[in-house]
């Protein structure tokens, strides 16, 4: 009997040892009540210490980003306090001595938040804990619990059934109605017969100067096809120059014996091969033969663009080249690459290392001399995230070369003077470093802020310090420096920079109005009598720099609108700027 009891105890212990531990999410954000009539939420935080460190009360703080929902300070339990930050989307909560959290222990507390979080993406993200006594940082996984909240129905969120019902009457297209090529060619004549799908094809590029190796590899991608380059007349794919066709146009014919391509330019040849590639892939994957057809095609629009923002969330060279591949598939020819914004500077400027040493990183910081504070859930900065990173000079040159192979032009976007916080903070760090060394000349050379500025404003993304001070020549020295450095990267890729995007949208109302530098500048300039005149003058200076540099200036529509208290709702055109050499990108058309 004794042995049987011992065996049962051992068996029980073995079961305990091998039972999987329950996964604990360190931070739970429980929404208890959506109080829609009062535009507020009742929420409970549940914080578990997953580390082996004791989080001593008075020594630890909780950090995160949140776009909807503001904690009402008076609703916090005693001994918890909100620390002020430079943006309403970055939150710091400190805990006094009663709130020590030992390893494995959980702290729960409830608060009231003003504002309603009606989408998960607008909720809290990127939690981390900072220990003040040793500067340790711990990134914490989190989860939003909302499914059982009171008042959920008041959000009027469509159910799955509602969404399904909205598609009533929609039917799938019959296979016969699907197209072999996208975008659909202007003219396509499908003949009655097909031809066997070949295992290999030879191609004669004729007189066209192209990256032949790249094009043959691209034609093979995703297929079983083997493509070889020949110089003989009996090639399977014959390419002929036809000067009568439009610049990017082409003709593609698939006959029983050969494939014929005619084009007037290298771009036309490229697009013809892209169409042929789509046809081959579709036929091969569906187990069909090649259709005999005739295509006469040319782009309907000269500008076929796509924009990628790597400032707010960084993506490396490899991802951008992948985007170029997909753009080429759909015959897009312009990539507007957003290289700077409030939340990140993403391109190396060798003579201004602070732009990437400080402006390209996000995470915990005491004073932003080393990095920007967290945004978009970038966390503490101790682990890899989309909040940090930049393209080296070599990366950007390679991207330019890869784009050229795909007949895509890159438009660099550097926002000036708005949406420029990463640059302002980075150059402020440069300013402070040189001032400590006693080198005032170097400190002021590329300074973007007025140290005495007391202007009050809030940007669309809730920043209060995201605009460059345009009342000092240093701002335009900075812009010209960056412009010329990027232009040199194009030259290194043996390309010309034809277009430069200054961004410049959402300029907050109130900027510069309490800047001593701007007050003095306006007083001393005979042609500048208002802040609108000041802004107009800065746009003309930028336009001169870009035009003299051989490029065309583009930017968001805001550049050509009157700067007023209406902010983003302003629609009046600024007549003083209507004659500048500038192309506006219209984004806010919901007037």
Query: CA–CA separation, 503 vs 557, rounded Å?
Result: 9
Q: For residue 480, indicate whether it is catalytic.
A: no
First to last CA, the chain: 86
The pair of three-digit structure tokens given for residue 504, joined into one six-digit string: 């410049």
How many residues does this entry show for the chain?
591
Place of tokens 């020590």: 100
CA-closest candidate to residue 369, choices 379, 384, 354? 354
DSSP element (H, E) containing 321:
helix 317-329
Inter-residue contact 497 to 486 (CB < 8 Å): yes
CA-closest candidate to residue 448, choices 464, 425, 432, 481? 425
Residue 461 pairs with which residues in a beta bridge?
none
CA-closest candidate to residue 374, choices 359, 362, 385? 362
CA-closest candidate to residue 306, choices 413, 459, 212, 416? 413
C-alpha atoms less than 13 angstroms from C-alpha of 297 in its C-beta half-sphere: 25
Measured from the Cβ of residue 30, the count of other Cβ atoms closer than 10 Å reads: 17
Query: CA–CA separation, 400 vs 411, rounded Å?
Result: 10
CA-closest candidate to residue 375, choices 10, 63, 37? 63
Query: CA–CA separation, 553 vs 575, rounded Å?
Result: 18
The pair of three-digit structure tokens given for residue 430, joined into one six-digit string: 């440069």
Query: CA–CA separation, 144 vs 31, rounded Å?
Result: 8
Residue 556 pairs with which residues in a beta bridge?
585
Inter-residue contact 582 to 560 (CB < 8 Å): yes
What residues contact 538, with CB distance under 8 A and at least 6 apart? 417, 470, 475, 476
What residues contact 209, with CB distance under 8 A and at least 6 apart? 266
Query: CA–CA separation, 345 vs 259, rounded Å?
Result: 47
Query: CA–CA separation, 359 vs 338, rounded Å?
Result: 14
Place of tokens 């309490």: 514
**Is there a cis peptide before residue 190, judged by omega within 30 degrees of 0?**
no
Query: CA–CA separation, 184 vs 175, rounded Å?
Result: 15
* 149: three-class secondary structure by DSSP: coil
List C-alpha distances in Å: 62 to 26, 96, 206, 291.
12, 12, 66, 63
CA angle 498-495-547, nearest 5°?
Answer: 25
Place of tokens 């400590």: 436
Query: CA–CA separation, 333 vs 311, rounded Å?
Result: 22
The pair of three-digit structure tokens given for residue 355, joined into one six-digit string: 């732009």
Q: Label the pairing between strands 340-341 and 344-345.
A: antiparallel
Q: What are phi and psi of 149, to 5 degrees?
A: -65, 140
Catalytic residue among 176, 506, 519, 557: 506
Active-site residues, by number, are 506
């Amino acid at each position: 009997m004794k042995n049987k009891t011992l065996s049962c105890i051992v068996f029980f212990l073995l079961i305990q040892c091998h039972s999987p531990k329950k996964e604990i999410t360190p931070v739970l954000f429980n929404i208890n009540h959506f109080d829609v009539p009062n535009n507020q939420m009742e929420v409970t935080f549940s914080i578990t210490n997953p580390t082996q460190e004791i989080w001593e009360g008075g020594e630890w703080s909780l950090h995160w980003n949140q776009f909807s929902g503001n904690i009402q300070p008076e609703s916090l339990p005693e001994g918890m306090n909100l620390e002020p930050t430079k943006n309403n989307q970055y939150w710091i909560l400190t805990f006094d001595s009663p709130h020590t959290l030992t390893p494995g222990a959980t702290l729960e507390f409830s608060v009231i938040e003003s504002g309603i979080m009606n989408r998960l993406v607008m909720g809290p993200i990127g939690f981390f804990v900072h220990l003040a006594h040793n500067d340790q940082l711990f990134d914490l996984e989190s989860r939003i619990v909302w499914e059982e909240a009171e008042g959920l129905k008041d959000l009027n969120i469509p159910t799955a059934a509602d969404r399904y019902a909205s598609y009533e009457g929609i039917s799938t297209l019959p296979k016969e109605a699907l197209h072999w090529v996208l975008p659909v060619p202007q003219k396509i004549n499908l003949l009655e017969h097909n031809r066997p799908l070949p295992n290999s094809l030879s191609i004669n590029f004729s007189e066209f100067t192209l990256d032949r190796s790249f094009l043959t590899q691209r034609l093979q991608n995703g297929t079983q096809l083997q493509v070889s380059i020949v110089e003989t007349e009996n090639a399977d794919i014959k390419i002929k120059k036809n000067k009568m066709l439009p610049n990017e146009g082409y003709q593609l014919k698939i006959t029983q014996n050969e494939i014929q391509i005619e084009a007037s330019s290298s771009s036309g040849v490229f697009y013809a091969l892209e169409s042929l590639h789509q046809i081959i892939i579709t036929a091969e994957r569906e187990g069909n033969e090649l259709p005999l057809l005739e295509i006469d095609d040319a782009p309907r629009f000269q500008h076929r663009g796509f924009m990628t923002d790597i400032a707010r969330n960084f993506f490396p060279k490899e991802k951008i080249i992948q985007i170029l591949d997909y753009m080429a598939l759909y015959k897009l020819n312009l990539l507007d690459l957003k290289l700077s914004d409030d939340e990140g500077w993403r391109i190396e400027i060798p003579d201004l290392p602070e732009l990437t040493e400080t402006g390209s990183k996000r995470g915990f910081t005491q004073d932003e001399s080393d990095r920007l504070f967290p945004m978009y859930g970038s966390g503490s900065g101790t682990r890899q995230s989309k909040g940090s990173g930049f393209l080296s000079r070599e990366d950007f040159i390679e991207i330019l070369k890869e784009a050229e192979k795909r007949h895509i032009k890159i438009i660099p976007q550097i926002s000036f003077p708005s949406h420029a916080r990463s640059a302002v903070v980075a150059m402020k760090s440069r300013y402070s470093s040189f001032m400590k060394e006693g080198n005032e000349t170097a400190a002021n050379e590329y300074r973007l802020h007025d140290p005495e500025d007391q202007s009050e404003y809030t940007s669309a993304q809730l920043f209060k310090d995201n605009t460059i001070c345009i009342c000092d020549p240093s701002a335009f020295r900075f812009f010209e420096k960056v412009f010329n450095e990027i232009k040199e990267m194009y030259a290194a890729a043996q390309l010309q920079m034809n277009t430069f995007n200054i961004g410049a949208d959402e300029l907050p109302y109130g900027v510069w109005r309490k800047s001593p530098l701007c007050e003095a500048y306006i007083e001393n300039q005979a042609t500048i009598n208002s802040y609108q005149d000041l802004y107009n003058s800065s746009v003309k200076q930028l336009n001169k720099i870009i035009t003299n540099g051989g490029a065309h200036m583009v930017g968001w529509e805001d550049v050509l609108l009157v700067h007023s208290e209406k902010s983003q709702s302003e629609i009046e055109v600024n007549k003083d700027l209507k004659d500048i050499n500038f192309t506006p990108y219209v984004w806010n058309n919901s007037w």
